[in-house]
Amino acid sequence: MPHKLSIEERQYYRDELRAARYSALADSEGFLAVCYALEALGLRMLGRKADLGKYEPNLKQVAMQSIVLRELTTSFPETFTTFDALFDLVRTARNDAMHTGVYARHAAAAGIELCIGLEEALMNTEENTEETPVTRQLVKDYMVKSPILVEAWQPVAQARQLMLTHSFSFLPVKLDSWKLVSETAMARFIQFGGPKRSPWNKRMATSIEVAAGAGLTLLDAKVVGLDENVRELLGESPDPDAPEPRLWLVVDGSENLCGVLSPFELL
């Protein structure tokens, strides 16, 4: 009998699949990260070390809790691929030494689609009872842990590099309070250099703290706690005149940054 995953285990493996998916999105040759995440989940459920193929029955049991992998593949076969087809492609690619070019992109796309379905399944608690609560709607259940931030003393060049490396639209920084560096503000500062129009090399070497007083516009961050309800953050009937949520910074009791949450994680 396969191991029954607790809610903590579901969240852990959801995060592992999500991280692997991000890796494959950043680089199609990072496809193996998806395989490792699938193997870790399969190992936990089977209870013994085996190859990816041996994990298929237990992984499929999880996958069938996904609306996408269970129902929509029948209703919209031209849009959604079945678990069996996705898994077969991933398993075959896992055993193939060639992970380059079109083949790698095709395998990565299948791995990403499979991860999305399994992530949904792991967070779909409506069909689970006893060990697993009916709903898990707290910030800590969805946030991205170990967030990347820029320190106030670090140069603009560091913030720029982090944003380009990770395709971030916003980057947290702590000054007197938590702020966000936006990609638009960063581009404007780099291109125009603020009111004094300092040379490029000086702009790039300027600390974020100094740049904030010299033309780099920072946004006040929306700070939330670990135990806040995500439905309340989104709002069932939002104010049409209020800006849409962009990024919430999750802090602990000491105001230390412990995670970030965007609407993307709640899709």
Range of the domain at 148: 144-266
Residue that wins the pLDDT comparison between 26 and 120: 120
CA dihedral 92→94→100→103, nearest 10 degrees, is 20
pLDDT at 98 over 90: no
Instruction: Summarize pLDDT for 160-176 with one digit per residue, the tens.
Output: 999 998 888 999 999 99
Average pLDDT over residues 223-243: 81
Which tens digits make up the pLDDT trace of 1-34? 778 898 889 999 999 999 999 888 877 667 889 9
Q: Are residues 89 and 153 in the same domain?
A: no
pLDDT of res. 195 = 61
166 and 254 in one domain? yes
Q: Is residue 1 part of a domain?
A: no
Q: How does the average pLDDT of the chain come out, rounded? A: 86
Please tell me the total count of domains within the chain. 2
Asked whether residue 177 falls in the same domain as residue 215, the answer is: yes
Provide the pLDDT for residue 123.
86
Type of residue found at 169 = S
pLDDT at 40: 95
Could you tell me if 163 and 251 lie in one domain? yes
- pLDDT reading at 129 higher than 60: no
3-state SS, the chain, equals CCCCCCHHHHHHHHHHHHHHHHHHHHCHHHHHHHHHHHHHHHHHHHCCCCCHHHHHHHHHHHHCCCHHHHHHHHHCCCCCCCHHHHHHHHHHHHCCCCCCHHHHHHHHHHHHHHHHHHHHHHHCCCCCCCCCCCCCCEHHHHCEECCCCCCCCCEHHHHHHHHHHHCCCEEEEECCCEEEEEHHHHHHHHHHCCCCCCCHHHHHHCEHHHHHCCCCCEEECEEEECCCEHHHHHCCCCCCCCCCCCCEEEECCCCCEEEEECHHHHC
Residue 189 maps to a domain: yes
Which of 135, 160, 193 marks a domain boundary? 135
93 and 35 housed in the same domain = yes
Write down the pTM of the prediction.
0.76
What's residue 223's pLDDT?
95
Select from 135, 170, 192 the last residue of a domain.
135
* Confidence at residue 246, expressed as pLDDT on a 0 to 100 scale: 83
Spatial separation of the C-alpha atoms in residues 74 and 176, rounded to whole Å: 53
237 or 11, which is more confident: 11
Give a yes or no: residue 2 inside a domain.
no
177-201: per-residue pLDDT in tens? 999 999 999 999 988 876 667 777 8
